[in-house]
Structure 1
Amino acid sequence: MSNDDEIKQLRERVQYLEDRSAILDCVMNQARGHDRHDAELMGSVYFEDGIDEHGPTVKTGPEYGAWANDVHGMVFEDHLHNITSHTCEINGDEAHAESYVMGAMRAKGGKVVSLMGGRYLDRLERRDGVWKIALRRCTIEWMMNGDSSALASGAVKGFIKGTWDRTDPSYTRPLQLDSEPVSRW
Structure 2
Amino acid sequence: MGNTEAVIEKLLDRIDELESRIAIRDLASDYCHGFDKRDYERFLAIWWHDCVWDIGPPFGRFEGHEGIRVAIHDVLWPAWQESHHLATNHTIRFLDADNATAVCDVDCVGTLVDEDVCQIVGATYYDTLQRRQGTWKIRERDVRIHYFNPVPGTRLASPASS
User: What is the letter of the counterpart of residue 156 of structure 1?
Assistant: P
Q: Give the structure 2 partner of residue 20 of structure 1.
A: 21
- In the superposition, relative to structure 1, how do residues 93 and 4 fare at CA in structure 2: closer, same or farther (>3 Å)? same
Residue in structure 1 matched with residue 160 of structure 2 by the alignment: 157
SS at 1:114 equivalent: strand
- Any idea what SS the aligned residue of 1:89 has? strand
What stretches of structure 1 move > 4 A for 4+ residues in a row?
none
The answer to whether the 8 A contact 1:37-1:69 is kept is no
Sort the Cα spacing of 1:54 and 1:109 in 2 relative to 1 into closer, same or farther, 3 A. Answer: closer
Letter in 1 for 2:31: Q
Post-superposition offset of 1:40: 1.8
Report the Cα offset of residue 98 of structure 1. Answer: 0.5
SS at match of 2:87: strand
Distance apart, 1:110 and its partner CA: 6.6
**Post-superposition shift, 1:66?**
4.5
Structure 1 gaps, min length 5: 159-184
CA contact (8 A) 2:53 2:61 kept: yes
What is the CA RMSD across the aligned residues, in angstroms?
Answer: 2.2
Q: TM-score, normalised by structure 1?
A: 0.75
What's 1:11 paired with? 12
Assess if the C-alpha contact under 8 Å between 1:120 and 1:139 holds in 2.
yes
Q: Show the counterpart of 1:84.
A: 88
